[in-house]
Amino acid sequence: MHAYKDSGKKLFQYITENKLKRGDRLPAETELAEILGISRLTLREAMNALKQEGIISAIQGKGTFVTFDYRYMANFLNLNKSVTEMIEDSGYTCGTSLFLKKLVKAEKEVAGYLNLPEGSDVLVCERIRLADKTPVVYSFDYLAPQLASRFLEITDVEISLYSFVEEKCNIEIGQCMTEIIPVIAEEDLSEKLEVPVNTPLLKFLVRVQDIYGNPIIYALEYLRADKFKFIANRRR
């Protein structure tokens, strides 16, 4: 879910649903407020929020323009969106071609993060996520014990893991530390993501906590570098 208020979400959805591209001009304030069903004051608050994230920018005397490129599924590095949200927010239909749940022996790094003895049984969900039927993410999500028993009951292969945590387990997601590592597709990844061997990929090493700092998910995600981009809005 976006970190914006409802008005910001409405404006963001207007941009994505209308597939506005970088350089496209937004309607004038009066017209846009009417389209979104909000006041001009509320619209300005929404526009300020999206300006801070680099999604839109205003040029005096010319108008407000989209600065976000929707040819890619994109995310800002200061927002923790799930894969499902990244795909759907970019106007694609999210799907799944592989959905496996299995118990494995926790290796040192996984066990250490989830506060388990090394070699303990841990539930992992292995998935291939699709965007308009094209495989774009191959992922492994290792779940903390408090999530595992509930997740075993899940049969919906299209489920968003973050939605499951927040809505089914009533756990509020807190900090998410992510390392982004450039890798190339070896034979197995090449087959899973339907790309040639040695194609550049982005490997995400993700550690998710609840709002109290308890570790809940350790994830490995392999993203197609030709389908995603990530933006950092840096300030000096």
Helical spans, DSSP H, in the chain: 6-17, 29-36, 40-52, 83-89, 108-113, 145-151, 161-163, 187-193
Q: What percent of the chain has pLDDT over 90?
A: 64
Residue 113: phi and psi, rounded to 5, are: -70, -40
Question: Mean of the per-residue pLDDT values for the chain?
Answer: 89
Task: Tell me the mean pLDDT in the region 24-28.
Answer: 95
User: What pLDDT score was predicted for residue 136?
Assistant: 96
pLDDT tens by residue, 168-188? 999 999 999 999 999 999 999
pTM for this prediction: 0.74
Q: Which of 84-93, 208-217, 227-236 has the lowest mean pLDDT?
A: 227-236
Rounded to whole angstroms, how far apart are CA atoms 198 and 155?
A: 34
User: What pLDDT score was predicted for residue 86?
Assistant: 84
Encoded tokens for 10: 């409405």
Q: Which of 6-20, 63-77, 139-153, 198-212 has the lowest mean pLDDT?
A: 63-77
User: What pLDDT score was predicted for residue 13?
Assistant: 83
pLDDT tens by residue, 68-116? 765 666 666 777 788 888 888 777 889 999 999 999 999 999 999 999 9
User: What pLDDT score was predicted for residue 137?
Assistant: 97
User: What pLDDT score was predicted for residue 72?
Assistant: 64
Task: Tell me the mean pLDDT in the region 195-222.
Answer: 96
What is the residue type of 29? Answer: E
User: What pLDDT score was predicted for residue 218?
Assistant: 98
Whether the per-residue pLDDT at 4 is higher than 50: the answer is: no
